[in-house]
Amino acid sequence: MNRGWMNRTMMMVTGMTLVLAMVLLSGCGGGNNDIQDDPTAGMDTGTQVEDLPPPPVAEDTTDQIPATPDYESMDPSDYGVDDVFFDFDQYELDNEAMGILSSNARAMREAGTVILISGHCDERGTLEYNLALGEKRANAVRDYLVSLGVPKSRLRVTSYGENRPFSRGSSDHAWAQNRRAHFERP
Amino acid sequence: MMHRRTVSFLSVVCLLLLATSVSWAQNSEFEIIHTGSAFIKTDVEVNALDVLSGGEASVQASDMLTRIIGNDLILSGMFRIEANAGDSDSLSFEYTVEGTVEGPLRDAAQTGETAPTTISLNLLTWPGRQLLLNKRYRPLPSQLRSTGHHFANEVINALTGERGIAMTRVVFSRSSGEGSDLYAVDYDGEGLLRLTANRVLNLCPNWSPDGSEIAFTSYRDHQQGLFILDTSNGKVRAVTSQEGLNFGADWHPDGKELLVSMSRAGNPEIYRITPEGKVIKRLTVSNAIEISPSWAPGGRDLVFTSDRTGTPQLYIIDSDGAGRRRLTFEGRYNDSAVWSPGGDKIAYATREKNTTQIVVMKSTGEDRRVITDSRWRNCEDPSWAPDGRHLVFASDRSGVFKLYVYDDEEGTFRQLTFGDDPDISPAWSN
């Protein structure tokens, strides 16, 4: 009873193996990398039929290729674009900020999406001057990114001044958190 | 909300027309007395109004009107009030306010509200009882407060020659979560009205000279732009939203153009623009931050902030951008200057140590006085009342920014807005 089933199975596996072998032989130099890279493929053809893995199917091969990230729908922080911070009343970039921006520039060139740079300030000082200072910070970041090869057309700039704090409170820590250029999807 | 706003603004107009049309001629023989010094106050008695008809609603109207009129006279800073001094002749008041309230009730069936038909208000000398003013009003229920404010202004004008501020309002920005909305409040803290509800930042509002429009700064799709709100119908229109900042609008006294700071050329510069957004003239050219313009009352000069020396300081130029001169040399951070309606004073914000404080000085730069201290924590965005005596500003002395009114004659303060949400960027109407 089982024997007939086993025989059929053996025949099917043998047949499929032969087909696989033909595919491999005919596909030399331009075929499916996944099959060629399979350490068990292409050897012992026809001798150890019972040990062969099932043939790859289309769905499996696409799953093994890493998907291109959908940068358009991701926050820049998800693909390695990090905020940079500023000293009190300053909009010049320090070494730490320039280091972060170099890394950001690589990620931005890879992603190729439009990014909004928003400039922010701590609560000290006036609303008006902080709007202007926030813009100076965002512009300084944009200019540096452009100098690192990020197309200017992909960078938008705005300033929220002191009006969108990341950290509430009036401590040195909160203030330092709020003096930043932030990257987001426009 | 929008409907209520429309009614409110229109009703004020109706009330004014009504009051003008029914007001009686003033006694031309009366000699106007100017009190002059702030510390000599005129004593006025404010009597409960006689209720001729209308029942309980008229009694309540009488109470409200006498309270509002008395409060307005006190808030002007020029009067002391004696309420219902009655027959006592030992009191030293010089003038008395009295009047009548008549029913029957109006609009009760339609609105559920009740109000008297006719209110008559009189100002007389005391003890001579010479009639100085008689005003008759026929207000809707929603106009009772305005009726009291209107008569208070008439009294102030008759006795001092000054224009009262009892019908003025303050517009400001109130934060809520990620956005901030514009609100207007009567100068006495009553009648709070929300003007925007769009879940974005709405900042730096400023009244047109006739109060019909409010220019303000907001964001659309992260782009800052200048907008104008029509106070008669609540409609908002875009003025300009070119790349960069578009903020800090101040209306020219003729209402036909605005000063604004825009960074379309790369960094913030001062421009004169039309209310439609067309540039009339660019007034500054530099790589520095140039912001916070404020017209002098005549519209010939303006004061603004520039950090061209490395720190933000106040400068004056004329309306062609010429004649630049530096106004502040004290303090390393001066901004948000506003010229007083009389032209004699300038108020601004200065940073002292780690806090921001309010300064009032002569527009020549002399007589600099820091009117707040560290007890007030941070104080920002001063704006003058049209009387040139009162100044509204925002302070976080309570832990959250609220609005306060300063009396520059007496050196006293009162709180204007309350609640847990931060209130900033106040601007006083004319």
Cα(B219)–Cα(B225) distance, integer angstroms? 6
Burial B89-126 (b: 16+ CB within 10 A, else e): eeeebebbbbbbbbbebbeeeeeeebbbbbbbbbbbeb
Q: Do A128 and B180 touch (CB under 8 A)?
A: no
Do B320 and B203 have their domain in common?
A: yes
- Reading the block at residue B24, the tokens are 């009686």
pLDDT, tens digit, 9 for 90 and up, residues A68-121: 788 888 999 999 999 999 999 999 999 999 999 999 999 999 999 999 999 999
pLDDT surpasses 90 at A182? yes
Q: Do A129 and B289 touch (CB under 8 A)?
A: yes
Domain boundary among B97, B128, B160: B160
Which has more pLDDT, A26 or B24? A26
Q: Mean pLDDT, to the nearest integer, of A28-46? A: 46
Contact predicate A175/A185, CB 8 Å: no
Q: What is the pLDDT of residue B211?
A: 97
pLDDT, tens digit, 9 for 90 and up, residues B282-300: 999 999 999 999 999 999 9
Q: Mean pLDDT, to the nearest integer, of B242-268? A: 97
Do B247 and B287 have their domain in common?
A: yes
Question: Which residues have C-beta within 8 Å of that of residue B3, sequence separation ≥ 6?
Answer: none
Q: What is the pLDDT of residue B199?
A: 87
- A26, containing H or E segment: helix A2-26
pLDDT band at B112 (very low <50, low <70, confident <90, very high): low
C-alpha pair distances (Å), B410 with each of A64, B339, B414: 80, 20, 12
Q: What is the pLDDT of residue B141?
A: 79
- Reading the block at residue A178, the tokens are 């709020």
Cα torsion at B202, B203, B209, B211 (round to 10°)?
A: 40
Average pLDDT in chain B: 88
Q: What is the pLDDT of residue B205?
A: 98
Q: Do A127 and B381 touch (CB under 8 A)?
A: yes
| % chain A with pLDDT above 90 | 57
pLDDT surpasses 60 at B130? yes
Q: What is the pLDDT of residue B140?
A: 82
Do B217 and B111 have their domain in common?
A: no
Closest chain B residue by Cα to residue A139? B266
Question: Which residues have C-beta within 8 Å of that of residue A128, sequence separation ≥ 6?
Answer: B204, B247, B248, B261, B291, B292, B305, B335, B336
Do B365 and B423 have their domain in common?
A: yes
pLDDT surpasses 60 at A186? yes
Cα(B188)–Cα(B75) distance, integer angstroms? 8
Cα(B234)–Cα(B183) distance, integer angstroms? 12
Q: What is the pLDDT of residue B187?
A: 98
Q: Do A126 and B263 touch (CB under 8 A)?
A: no
- Domain total in chain B: 2
Could you count the other beta carbons within 10 Å of the beta carbon of residue B313? 20
Do B231 and B354 have their domain in common?
A: yes
Cα(B273)–Cα(B228) distance, integer angstroms? 13
Cα torsion at B6, B9, B14, B15 (round to 10°)?
A: 140
Contact predicate B173/B204, CB 8 Å: yes
Do B117 and B200 have their domain in common?
A: no
Interface test with B, best of A92, A128, A159, A171 (most B CBs within 10 A): A128
pLDDT band at A170 (very low <50, low <70, confident <90, very high): confident
Q: What is the pLDDT of residue B272?
A: 98
Which value, in Å, is the radius of gyration of the alpha carbons in chain A?
A: 29
Interface test with A, best of B222, B269, B355 (most A CBs within 10 A): B222
Average pLDDT in chain A: 79
The CA distance from A91 to the nearest CA of chain B, in Å, is: 12
Q: What is the pLDDT of residue B91?
A: 64
Domain boundary among B160, B184, B203: B160
**ipTM of model:** 0.87
Do B153 and B174 have their domain in common?
A: no
Q: What is the pLDDT of residue B7?
A: 34
Q: Do B425 and A127 touch (CB under 8 A)?
A: yes
Do B177 and B264 have their domain in common?
A: yes
pLDDT band at B40 (very low <50, low <70, confident <90, very high): confident
Which of A135, A158, A163 shows the shortest C-beta gap to B223?
A158
pLDDT surpasses 80 at A47? no
Cα(B39)–Cα(B411) distance, integer angstroms? 11
Cα(B80)–Cα(B236) distance, integer angstroms? 42
Which has more pLDDT, B138 or A37? B138
Strand residue runs (E) in B324-386 = 325-326, 334-339, 345-352, 355-362, 369-370, 379-384
pLDDT surpasses 70 at B113? no
pLDDT surpasses 90 at B28? no
Within an 8 Å CB–CB cutoff, is residue A88 touching chain B? no
pLDDT surpasses 50 at B5? no
Do B246 and B114 have their domain in common?
A: no
- Reading the block at residue B13, the tokens are 């107009």
Which has more pLDDT, A63 or B16? A63
Cα(B316)–Cα(B295) distance, integer angstroms? 10
pLDDT surpasses 90 at B206? yes
Amino acid at B92: S
- Please tell me whether residue B6 adopts helix, strand or coil conformation: helix
Q: What is the pLDDT of residue B9?
A: 37
Q: Where are the alpha helices (DSSP H) in B320-385?
A: none
Cα(B45)–Cα(B95) distance, integer angstroms? 6
Q: Do B268 and A135 touch (CB under 8 A)?
A: yes
Do B86 and B200 have their domain in common?
A: no
The burial of B321, by beta-carbon neighbours within 10 Å (0-12 exposed, 13-18 middle, 19 or more buried), is given as middle
Q: What is the pLDDT of residue A8?
A: 53
Q: What is the pLDDT of residue B111?
A: 59
Do B151 and B265 have their domain in common?
A: no
pLDDT band at B33 (very low <50, low <70, confident <90, very high): very low
Please name every residue paired with A116 in a beta bridge, in sequence order, or none if there are none: A156, A184
Q: Mean pLDDT, to the nearest integer, of B214-225? A: 97
pLDDT surpasses 90 at A32? no
| % chain B with pLDDT above 90 | 78
Do B254 and B367 have their domain in common?
A: yes
Strand residue runs (E) in chain A = 84-85, 115-120, 155-161, 180-184
Domain parsing of chain A, residue ranges: 2-64, 71-184
pLDDT band at B177 (very low <50, low <70, confident <90, very high): confident
Q: What is the pLDDT of residue B398?
A: 96
Contact predicate B272/B283, CB 8 Å: yes
Which has more pLDDT, B292 or B116? B292
pLDDT, tens digit, 9 for 90 and up, residues B99-108: 999 976 555 5
Q: Which residues of B touch A (CB under 8 A)?
A: 175, 178, 180, 201, 203-204, 219, 221-224, 243-245, 247-248, 261, 263, 266-268, 289, 291-292, 305, 307, 312, 333, 335-336, 349, 351, 354-356, 378, 380-381, 424-425
pLDDT surpasses 80 at A142? yes
pLDDT band at B29 (very low <50, low <70, confident <90, very high): very low
Map tokens 């452009």 to a residue: A146
Q: What is the pLDDT of residue B306?
A: 98
Please name every residue paired with B133 in a beta bridge, in sequence order, or none if there are none: B123
Which has more pLDDT, A34 or A53? A53
| % chain B with pLDDT above 70 | 86
- Reading the block at residue A167, the tokens are 């950290």
Q: Mean pLDDT, to the nearest integer, of B162-167? A: 96
Q: Mean pLDDT, to the nearest integer, of B323-348? A: 97
- Reading the block at residue B166, the tokens are 């009892």
Name the residue among A85, A83, A81 with its Cα closest to residue A150: A81
Q: Mean pLDDT, to the nearest integer, of B209-238? A: 97
Which domain does B139 fall in, by range?
A: 2-160
pLDDT, tens digit, 9 for 90 and up, residues B351-397: 988 899 999 999 999 999 999 998 999 999 999 999 999 999 999 99
* Among the ranges given (B51-60, B111-120, B228-237, B327-336), the one the predictor scored with the smallest mean pLDDT: B111-120
Q: What is the pLDDT of residue A49?
A: 54
CATH number, position B407? 2.120.10.30
Query: Going by CATH, does the domain composed of A71-184 fall within 3.30.1330.60?
Result: yes
- Please tell me whether residue B363 adopts helix, strand or coil conformation: coil
Q: Do B356 and A126 touch (CB under 8 A)?
A: yes
Cα torsion at B372, B374, B377, B379 (round to 10°)?
A: 20
Domain boundary among B103, B135, B160: B160
The CA distance from A75 to the nearest CA of chain B, in Å, is: 16
CATH number, position B17? 3.40.50.10070
